[in-house]
Amino acid sequence: MYIKHWAAAATVALLALPGISQARDTQLYLPFQKVVAQMTAEGKIDGSVKYYLAGNQPRGKVTVVSPNAITNKKTNAFNKSDTEACEWALQSAILTLDSAAKKVGANAVTNIVSYYKSNAHADANNYECHAGAFIGGVALKGDLSKVQ
């Protein structure tokens, strides 16, 4: 009798494995400037560093101080919508770029592209995010620059 119960439990557990092993990875493209504006309004960033996605050029002379700054941020997506998780991950990525820019005396991050799994995706308005059942992630690459 004990063996029958154990065998039934093992069978149920094995049937559940395919669902667990096939993790969700939803690719989303969401508005970048919305999050930058929100962070500035909430005082999370002071606005001294400006952000330009590839395809958008700042006015003035651009001098790249440090090319190819990369950030790859993840967040807990549990009990969050995909958009909420992506925005949290983007905020973390922006904070990292903001700090890196200030350290090298840059006042802008230019030529920003999404850089998921080292694949560059340029979009003048949106960033790429990958959301799963438990984790949301954003990877960015950009140039730390001085704009005059």
**CATH number, domain at 71?**
3.30.110
Residue 5, domain member (yes or no): no
Provide CB contacts within 8 A for 15, sequence distance 6+.
none
CA distances in angstroms from 47 to 71, 94, 104, 118, listed in the order given: 19, 11, 16, 28
Determine the distance from the C-alpha atom of residue 64 to the mean position of all C-alpha atoms in its chain, rounded to a whole number: 23
Residue 11, domain member (yes or no): no
Residue 93 has pLDDT above 50, yes or no: yes
Residue 45, domain member (yes or no): yes
Report the pLDDT value the prediction gives residue 72, as an integer from 0 to 100. 98
The pTM of this model reads: 0.84
Distance CA 108, CA 121 (A): 20
Residue 2, domain member (yes or no): no
The whole-chain average pLDDT of the chain stands at 90
Residue 58 has pLDDT above 60, yes or no: yes
The phi and psi torsions of 135 (rounded to 5 degrees) equal -140, 140
Q: Does 10 or 92 have the greater pLDDT score?
A: 92
- Whose CA is closest to 38, among 75, 88, 72? 88
Residue 23 has pLDDT above 70, yes or no: yes
| Domain around 98 | 24-147
Number of structural domains in the chain? 1
- In this prediction, residues 44-73 reach a mean pLDDT of 97
Residue 101, domain member (yes or no): yes
